Amino acid sequence: MVLFRGLSRLSSTLRSRTVQQPNNLGSVRWLQMQTSTDLDLHSQLKELIPEQQERLKKIRSDYGKVQLGNITTDMVIGGMRGMVGLLWETSLLDPEEGIRFRGLSIPECQKVLPAAQPDGEPLPEGLLWLLLTGKVPSKEQVNALSKELRDRAAVPDYAFKAIDALPVSAHPMTQFTTGVMALQVQSEFQKAYDQGIHKSKYWEPTFEDSLNLIARLPAVAAYVYRRIFKDGKIIPMDDSLDYGANFSHMLGFDDPKMHELMRLYVTIHSDHEGGNVSAHTGHLVASALSDPYLSFAAALNGLAGPLHGLANQEVLLWIKSVVEECGENISKDQLKDYVWKTLNSGKVVPGFGHGVLRKTDPRYMCQREFALKHLPKDPLFQLVSKLYDVVPPILTELGKVKNPWPNVDAHSGVLLNYYGLTEARYYTVLFGVSRSIGICSQLIWDRALGLPLERPKSVTMEWLENHCKKAAAA
């Protein structure tokens, strides 16, 4: 690894090239720019960190007292909705247009990030590079990162044994998180901290842990899948494959279209700014200087909740229950009745609504486009399309739902199901592997920027009542 970095540094030169880059305002422009051809992500980051540290220092000294909005009692009681309270560099979520990764929308990422084949889906390694550096990588840089991740991918045997200690009936997310906790034994951050590393260097072992973690997750996740649903035999990584394709391969799926789906899946599930439960949890836990493994395992436990990442499991199970009860050729009227039945039994319609988005999730749209291209006649896809017509008016009629439109989880299951990954209980694990890319990228920047311990103030109902009465009297 060190040798690889040394060699790539030696061979690095500067050349002029035209690349599409997001600017600071989040829009995209074409630039003629000087860019390093260094293929090593670590040295690229090392170059970038000092200027971003200066930038943050200046924001604090120039604008430290600028107000970003008023905190209301509603916000405190209502899950902090709309409260600006976190710094998250890798992505930004607009309620109307959806996620932008370092300024690039999903369609823009599909256009500019390197793919495995012409007009193919983006390689997740390219997105990792973009999230970490803010720059669109070249194909060579992405290939180098693919190789680096493969070089880091070996999983210690005790991680599999830790999973084996659980009953096979344990939920796949429980088994997956157990595997992640076992990987923590090899944390470079923890070792460096124990040895007294200076805080200015925290980002370096965080980077090592993060890349090791991202590299090793597919093998752990695939083990969980094969242990629960297949013969339990490990399928070794294929050195000729990229990250997404290798993950699909280790799960046991080698259809090239499934490889493409996995590349798209991992890319779009990677990051969704900082306030969602999994990202926020990872960031919060890491703010105590817990290493990336501890922080990411905590994040996974949040992802495993049905209002967050588990919704993808819930959607497919719900769709299958619709088919079981009414058949595949269900009419829109029957579907409406089924949706009302779900709501009247005190449940949410999984895959619809969002804490921030107020339009159809672009992650839903790009999966719909994938389906229109590759599986337009699939009955479950057609059912998902019908739900797009039927559910939003009903949720709107309820009068309380702020966003009646489908989110990412409304679509992912039917695509996976089509290519043979039919076990819905496993789906959140795929989300988890993907989320490591966003969460770990930000954790590296958390440590590089020296972000402090997170510690918001909490209050009691009595405090709120007294405060509000005093405010009203004044």
Return the half-sphere exposure (C-beta side, CA atoms, 13 A cut-off) of residue 279.
24
Catalytic, out of 269, 409, 411, 446: 409
Closest CA to 259 of 131, 419, 139: 419
* CB nearer to ligand CMX: pick between 149 and 401: 401
Return the half-sphere exposure (C-beta side, CA atoms, 13 A cut-off) of residue 89.
23
Q: Answer positive or negative: Cα dihedral of 202, 207, 212, 218.
A: positive
**One residue of 31, 168, 234, 307 binding ligand CMX per CB under 6 A:** 307
The reply on whether position 437 binds ligand CMX by CB under 6 A is no
Closest CA to 351 of 320, 306, 386: 306
Residue 237 gets which letter from DSSP? P
Q: Answer positive or negative: Cα dihedral of 113, 118, 124, 125.
A: negative
Phi-psi region of 252 (alpha: psi -120 to 50; beta: other; left: phi over 0): left
209 is catalytic: no
Coil, helix or strand at residue 348:
coil
Query: Considering CB under 6 A, how many residues would be counted as binding ligand CMX?
Result: 22
Closest CA to 435 of 214, 287, 109, 215: 214
For the CB of residue 398, give the shortest distance to ligand CMX in the complex, in Å. Answer: 7
354 is catalytic: yes
Coil, helix or strand at residue 164:
helix
Stretch that binds ligand CMX, among 45-53, 164-172, 254-262, 307-315 (CB under 6 A): 307-315
Are 286 and 449 in contact by the 8 Å Cβ rule? The answer is: no
Q: Answer positive or negative: Cα dihedral of 399, 302, 449, 458.
A: positive
The reply on whether position 29 binds ligand CMX by CB under 6 A is no
Parallel, antiparallel, or unpaired: how do β-strands 91-94 and 28-36 relate?
unpaired
For the CB of residue 419, give the shortest distance to ligand CMX in the complex, in Å. Answer: 21
Coil, helix or strand at residue 14:
strand
* Burial (CB count <10 Å: 0-12, 13-18, 19+), residue 65: exposed
Site string for ligand CMX, 251-290 (x = CB under 6 A): -------------------------x--------------
The reply on whether position 127 binds ligand CMX by CB under 6 A is no
For the CB of residue 362, give the shortest distance to ligand CMX in the complex, in Å. Answer: 13
**One residue of 311, 384, 429, 444 binding ligand CMX per CB under 6 A:** 311
The reply on whether position 146 binds ligand CMX by CB under 6 A is no
The reply on whether position 308 binds ligand CMX by CB under 6 A is yes
The reply on whether position 317 binds ligand CMX by CB under 6 A is no
Residue 123 gets which letter from DSSP? P
Stretch that binds ligand CMX, among 107-115, 259-267, 345-353, 457-465 (CB under 6 A): 345-353
* CB nearer to ligand CMX: pick between 137 and 404: 404
Residue 81 gets which letter from DSSP? T
Coil, helix or strand at residue 419:
coil
Closest CA to 270 of 299, 298, 246, 294: 299
The reply on whether position 402 binds ligand CMX by CB under 6 A is yes
* The pair of three-digit structure tokens given for residue 265, joined into one six-digit string: 């899946």
Tokens 């060699």 -> residue: 7
For the CB of residue 309, give the shortest distance to ligand CMX in the complex, in Å. Answer: 5
For the CB of residue 438, give the shortest distance to ligand CMX in the complex, in Å. Answer: 13
Closest CA to 5 of 204, 281, 160: 204
For the CB of residue 250, give the shortest distance to ligand CMX in the complex, in Å. Answer: 24
Number of neighbouring beta carbons within 10 Å of residue 26: 14
* CB nearer to ligand CMX: pick between 93 and 155: 93
The reply on whether position 438 binds ligand CMX by CB under 6 A is no
Catalytic, out of 242, 354, 361, 446: 354
Pairwise CA distance, residues 57 & 68, whole Å: 18
Catalytic, out of 171, 249, 272, 308: 308
Stretch that binds ligand CMX, among 39-47, 88-96, 221-229, 349-357 (CB under 6 A): 349-357
Stretch that binds ligand CMX, among 52-60, 305-313, 363-371, 459-467 (CB under 6 A): 305-313
* CB nearer to ligand CMX: pick between 137 and 172: 172
The reply on whether position 350 binds ligand CMX by CB under 6 A is yes
* The pair of three-digit structure tokens given for residue 355, joined into one six-digit string: 């804490």
Q: Answer positive or negative: Cα dihedral of 173, 177, 178, 182.
A: positive
* CB nearer to ligand CMX: pick between 325 and 397: 397
The reply on whether position 141 binds ligand CMX by CB under 6 A is no
**One residue of 100, 263, 354, 447 binding ligand CMX per CB under 6 A:** 354
For the CB of residue 345, give the shortest distance to ligand CMX in the complex, in Å. Answer: 11
The reply on whether position 22 binds ligand CMX by CB under 6 A is no
Amino acid present at 425: R
308 is catalytic: yes
The reply on whether position 309 binds ligand CMX by CB under 6 A is yes
* CB nearer to ligand CMX: pick between 82 and 120: 82
Catalytic sites, residue numbers: 308, 354, 409
Q: Which residues bind ligand CMX (CB under 6 A)?
A: 276, 307-309, 311, 343, 348-355, 395, 400-403, 407-409
